[in-house]
């Protein structure tokens, strides 16, 4: 799903060459049907199984964007000369990254390319987010994240996030405490990569995000298109990368490359 920061967030879904305004479908009874075909989102080949949210196995096992270090950036091996795609890494990993705090199911730490703000926060269903560090590469961001997650989670509880029972917190207070607790590790990163490698963002304001949700579920049941290829129900909301129906939720990003049909009932 494509997102645009507004009040509330605006969502659209790509279908072929067009975009479908999902906010306009809130309150409508819809059917989402998997047609039994999966197309790799990178090479366009048909595949029997989706890997890493939309890739065929060949792309999954060869592309840098599917390597383990994308999930664990502190394990980046670009400097060892073993990156799967050095040119891709230069344009994606060896760029300015932001270490941030977000509140989607409680306070968590995360990282993203500077150009992915605020999209990353919206995709995670955060109701608040605050940048706390700017670094020069994904590797450095991963090292900083490892230090900070010794004191705060690096994960979002998607079930709690979708129930909407999340209270606002003082992210600036969290930032000040966490940066004080990890000062030694941040100093080590600067000594290793240079004084300019880490910029402390101590004057930023938290961003508040509101999502288009008519009603949050009290219990979260997840639809699985591989087990049941048809989802039906009234669209009650959109949060993160989830569609919230009256009978359950579905993570749209999980089904990247799936050929589906969406229609009103």
- Cα–Cα nearest to 262, from 20, 18, 17: 20
pLDDT tens string, the chain, 265 residues long: the values are: 999 999 999 999 887 678 899 999 999 999 999 999 999 999 999 999 999 999 999 999 999 999 999 999 999 999 999 999 999 999 999 999 999 999 999 999 999 999 999 999 999 999 999 999 999 999 999 999 999 999 999 999 999 999 998 999 999 999 999 999 999 999 999 999 999 999 999 998 999 999 999 999 999 999 999 999 999 999 999 999 999 999 999 999 999 999 999 999 9
* Main-chain dihedrals φ then ψ at residue 2, nearest 5 degrees: -90, 140
- Does some domain include residue 58? no
193 lies in the same domain as 94: yes
204 lies in the same domain as 92: yes
- Does some domain include residue 57? no
What beta strand segments (E) does 126-206 contain?
128-135, 198-200
- Cα–Cα nearest to 152, from 190, 111, 117, 108: 108
Measured in whole angstroms, the distance separating CA 58 from the mean position of its chain's CA atoms is 24
Structure tokens at 208: 């508040």
189 lies in the same domain as 139: yes
Evaluate whether 64 touches 85 at the Cβ level (below 8 Å). Answer: yes
Residue 100: the pLDDT is 98
- Does some domain include residue 35? yes
What is the pairing mode between strands 18-21 and 10-15? antiparallel
- Does some domain include residue 51? no
pTM of the predicted structure, to 2 decimals: 0.94
How many domains is the chain partitioned into structurally? 2
Structure tokens at 17: 């060459």
| Length of the chain in terms of residues written | 265
- Does some domain include residue 66? no
Distance in angstroms (rounded) separating the CA atoms of residues 117 and 99: 11
141 lies in the same domain as 199: yes
97 lies in the same domain as 39: no
Which structural domain, as residue segments, surrounds residue 243?
Answer: 2-46+212-264
- Cα–Cα nearest to 121, from 20, 9, 37, 41: 9
Cis omega (within 30 of 0) on the bond before 118?
Answer: yes
Residue 212: the pLDDT is 98
Structure tokens at 29: 């009874």
Residue 18: the pLDDT is 81
- Does some domain include residue 65? no
Determine how many CB atoms are found less than 10 A away from the CB of residue 62: 14
* Main-chain dihedrals φ then ψ at residue 6, nearest 5 degrees: -150, -175
230 lies in the same domain as 185: no
């Amino acid at each position: 799903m494509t997102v645009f920061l507004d009040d509330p967030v605006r969502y659209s879904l790509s279908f072929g060459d067009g975009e479908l305004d999902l906010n306009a479908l809130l309150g409508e009874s819809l059917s989402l049907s998997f047609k039994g075909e999966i197309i790799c989102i990178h090479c366009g080949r048909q595949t029997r199984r989706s890997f890493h949210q939309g890739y065929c196995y060949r792309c999954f096992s060869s592309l840098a964007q599917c390597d383990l270090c994308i999930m664990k950036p502190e394990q980046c091996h670009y400097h060892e000369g073993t990156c799967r795609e050095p040119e891709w890494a230069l344009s994606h990993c060896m760029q300015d990254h932001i270490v941030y705090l977000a509140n989607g199911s409680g306070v968590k730490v995360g990282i993203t390319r500077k150009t992915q703000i605020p999209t990353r926060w919206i995709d995670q269903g955060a109701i608040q987010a605050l940048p706390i560090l700017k670094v020069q590469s994904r590797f450095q961001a991963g090292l900083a994240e490892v230090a900070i997650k010794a004191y705060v989670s690096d994960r979002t509880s998607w079930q709690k996030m979708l129930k909407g029972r999340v209270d606002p917190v003082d992210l600036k207070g969290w930032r000040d405490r966490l940066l004080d607790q990890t000062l030694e590790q941040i100093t080590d990163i600067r000594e290793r990569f240079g004084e300019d490698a880490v910029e402390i963002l101590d004057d930023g304001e938290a961003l508040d995000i509101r999502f288009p949700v008519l009603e949050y579920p009290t219990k979260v049941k997840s639809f699985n298109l591989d087990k049941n290829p048809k989802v039906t129900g009234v669209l009650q909301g959109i949060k993160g990368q989830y569609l919230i129906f009256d009978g359950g939720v579905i993570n749209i990003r999980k089904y990247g490359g799936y050929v589906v049909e969406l229609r009103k009932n």
